[in-house]
Chain A
Amino acid sequence: MSTDILEIRNLSASYGAVQALHGVGLRVPQGAVVSLIGANGAGKTTALKVVSGLKRPDSGEVLFKGLRVDARPAHELVRMGLVHCPEGRGVFPNLTVMENLRLGAYTRRDKAQAAMDLDWVWSLFPRLFERRRQGAGTLSGGEQQMLAMGRSLMARPALLLMDEPSLGLAPQVVDSIFEAVLKINRQGCSILLVEQNAQRALEISSLAWVLETGRVLLHGPAAEISRNPRVREAYLGEGA
C-alpha cells in the first residue's frame, strides 16, 4: 500500500528526434513538498508537462492517487485534483485578475466552497484583492506569479505542480512566494516544485530529485541532497 499521491515510473519523452527524458522515476508522498532541481534543459519542465497531461510520454507510467493517468488529457486531471501552475507569466494578460481566478475554478460546481477558497486566496495575497479589477497583464512579475498560484488554488488541488515560481523575481518577492508555498502545503496540498533556485527549494522540501540531461542523477531526502558535493558545486553556486 503506497502513500504516494504521485508516482512516476520509467518515464521517457521526446520532442521530435530529441529525447528529453530517459526513464525518469520520481514520487511525491501524500502531503509532502518535493523538489525537482537541475540545470536548464535537464527536462524538469518536460517532466511536469507529462505529469499534467500537456505532453504524451513515449513510454513509462504516471500514477496519481494510485491511478494510471498518463493517457488522460490535462483538463480531466484538473478535475481529479492534479493542478499545474505554469512557469512565470502563465496568467491570461487579456483578462482581469478576477476573471483569471474564476478560470481557476472552472471545473468546480461547489459555489459556496469556491467562495471560501477565494477568500483564502485574498488573505494569502492581499495585493491581488486590491487589483482584482485590473487586467492581469498590468501586474508586476511578482503579482503575476501570485495570481498564477492563487488561480491554481481555486481548483482545490490535491497535488500542485509548480514550475519555477521564483523565476526572475526580486529576492523579497521570492521570500513571500516561498512563504506562500509553505502555507499552501500546510493546508494539506502536496507540492512538486521545479526550481532553478535550488537552495530555496531544498530548504522547504522533504525529498528532492536532481535531473541531468533527462536522467535522474540523484535523489533522496532534501537535507542530504543539499549536502551532496556535486549538487553544491553544480546548483548551489559553490565553485570547485
Chain B
Amino acid sequence: MRYKFPSSRGSSPGAALGTGMQTFVQHLIDGIALGSIYALIALGYTLVYGILRLINFAHGDIFMVGAFIGLFAAQALHAGADPTPLKFGLVMLAAMGGCALLGFLVERLAYRPLQQAPRINLLITAVGVSLLLENLGQVVFGPNPKFFPDLLPHTVLFSFGGAAVSNHQAVVLGTSLVLMVGLEWLVLKTRLGLAMRALSHSHETASLMGIPTGLVIAFTFCVGSALAAAAGILVGVSYPRVDPLMGILPGIKAFVAAVLGGIGNIRGAVVGGLILGLSEEMVSGYFSSTYRDALAFGILIAILLLKPEGLFGRNEVEKV
C-alpha cells in the first residue's frame, strides 16, 4: 500500500473559480508549498550523503515519526481544540527534538558499528532501518491513518484574482525558509559547519585537524532528522492524515529531488525539491493526478541518463 498526500485542507478557490492565469498562479502557489516540504526532506538526504556517502533510506520514515510525535504533542497540548501559534511552535519543537534524538540513535546503533565495513553493508542496513521503523510504526501507532489535529485553523490570508494563499501555505513557506536559511548559516558560517564541510571531503584528514569526526557525523544526522520532522509537521498542517507508511513515497520523492539538484549539494536539494513540487502540481492540475508519481520517477530516470551528477553536482570520480 502506498501513501499519497490526500487533498489538502480547505478549499482551493483558484481551482474552482478561475481559468487561465488564476489557475496557473494557484498551481504555482500550491506547487511551491509542496516543493518546500520536499526540499526540507531532501536536505536530510543530501547532508548525510555529503558526509557519509550513504543514501539514508530510513530518512522518509524519520519524517513519518516526526509527524506522529507532532500528533501526540498536539493531543497532549489539546492543540486541536484550542489552537494557538505557541502550541504550533511547541509541537514543532517536540517533533524536531524527538527526531534529532531518533537520528542520533539510528546513527549510533545501526550505522556507526559499520564504519569500517564496505559501503554496500551500510546501504542494506539503511533499508533494514527503514523497514524496522515502518513496521514498528504499525505496531506502536496502529496501521490505520490518524487524523492530524488542525493546529492552525484554515484561513485565506490574501487572494488576488482567483488565486489564494492560505495561512497553511504561508506557514509552510515561512518555516521552510527559516530552516533553510538557518542551515545555510550553520554550514557556511559556523565552526561546526566548517568541520562538516571538511568531513565531506575526507574523514581522515578532518581528524588530523583535531575534529572529533564521530560527533560531527552524529550531529549531521540530528540536523537532517530534525528537518524531516519539521516537514512531517508541515504535512500534518496541510493534509489531515498521518499513518506509519506515509514516509515511503515522500521519502522516495525527496530523494529524487536531492538527486535532481545534485546529491550532497545543499542548494541543489532546495531547488530540486521546488522543481519536483511545482512539476507535480502542474501535472496533476493540467493533466491528471494519475501521472503525478510517474513524473517523479520519470525525472529520476531522465537525470540518471542525461546528467547523473544533478543540476548543481560536481562530477566526482570515486576515489579508491
Q: Which residues of A contact B (CB under 8 A)?
A: 52-54, 73-75, 78-79, 83-84, 86, 90, 92-95, 99, 102-104, 106-107, 151, 155
- Those 6 A-B pairs whose CB atoms lie nearest each other, nearest first: A78-B210, A107-B210, A74-B207, A103-B209, A75-B210, A106-B209
What separation, in Å, do the CA atoms of A99 and B187 have in the docked complex? Answer: 12
Q: Check B194–A104 contact: CB distance below 8 A.
A: no
- Complex contact A86–B208 (CB within 8 A): yes
- Report whether A99 and B194 are in contact in the complex, using a CB–CB cutoff of 8 Å: yes
Hey, which chain B residues are within 8 Å of A99, CB to CB?
A: 194, 197
Interface membership of B191, Cβ < 8 A: yes
Q: Is B200 among interface residues, defined by CB-CB distance under 8 A?
A: yes
List 14 additional A-B contacts (Cβ < 8 Å) besides A75-B207, A155-B210.
A53-B207, A54-B208, A74-B208, A75-B211, A90-B205, A90-B208, A92-B201, A92-B202, A92-B205, A95-B194, A95-B197, A99-B194, A103-B211, A104-B209
Q: In the complex, which residues 197-240 of chain B have their Cβ closer than 8 Å to any Cβ of chain A?
A: 197-198, 200-202, 204-213
In the assembled complex, B195 has its CB within 8 A of some CB on chain A? yes
| Closest Cβ–Cβ distance, residue A226 to chain B (whole Å) | 30
Cβ-defined partner of A103 (8 Å) among B194, B204, B212, B213: B194
B209 / chain A contacts, CB cutoff of 8 Å: 75, 78, 103-104, 106-107, 151, 155
> Max chain A CB contacts within 10 Å: which of B201, B206, B208?
B208
Other-chain contact of A94, B200, B204, B211, B212 (Cβ < 8 Å): B200
The CA-CA distance from A78 to B209 in the complex, in Å, is 7
A-B contacts, 18 of them at CB < 8 A, read A52-B208, A74-B207, A74-B208, A75-B212, A75-B213, A78-B210, A79-B210, A84-B208, A92-B205, A93-B201, A95-B198, A99-B194, A99-B197, A103-B195, A103-B211, A104-B209, A151-B209, A155-B210
A83 touches B208 (CB 8 A): yes
Please report whether the interface of chain A is mostly helix, strand, loop or mixed according to DSSP: loop
Number of A-B contacts (CB under 8 A): 61
Residues of B within 8 A of A102 (CB): 194
Residues from chain A with Cβ under 8 Å of B198 in the complex: 92, 95, 103
Q: In the complex, what distance in Å separates the CA atom of A46 from the CA atom of B70?
A: 51
B188 to chain A, nearest CB (A): 10
What CA separation (Å) do A99 and B197 show in the bound complex? 10
A107 / chain B contacts, CB cutoff of 8 Å:
209-210
Bound complex: CA of A54 vs CA of B204, how far in Å?
A: 7
Q: Considering the complex, give the chain B residue whose CB is closest to the CB of A161.
A: B208
Closest-CB distance, B309 to chain A (whole angstroms):
15
B224 shortest CB reach to chain A, Å: 19
Chain B positions within 8 Å of A103 at CB level: 194-195, 198, 206, 209, 211
CB distance B195 to A106 under 8 Å?
yes
Instruction: Name the residue among B191, B200, B201, B210 with the largest chain A CB count within 10 angstroms.
Output: B210
Name the residue among B197, B202, B209 with the largest chain A CB count within 10 angstroms: B209
- The listed residue with most B CB atoms (<10 A of its CB), out of A75, A78, A95, is A75
- State the CA gap A103–B197 with chains docked (Å): 10
User: Complex formed: what's the CA distance from A58 to B92 in Å?
Assistant: 49
Q: Across the two chains, which residue of chain B brings its CB closest to A152?
A: B208
Q: How far is the CA of A75 from the CA of B198 in the complex (A)?
A: 14
**Taking the nearest CB of chain B, how far is it from the CB of A31, in angstroms?**
23
Q: Which of B28-49 contact A (CB under 8 A)?
A: none
A151 to B195, CA, bound (A): 14
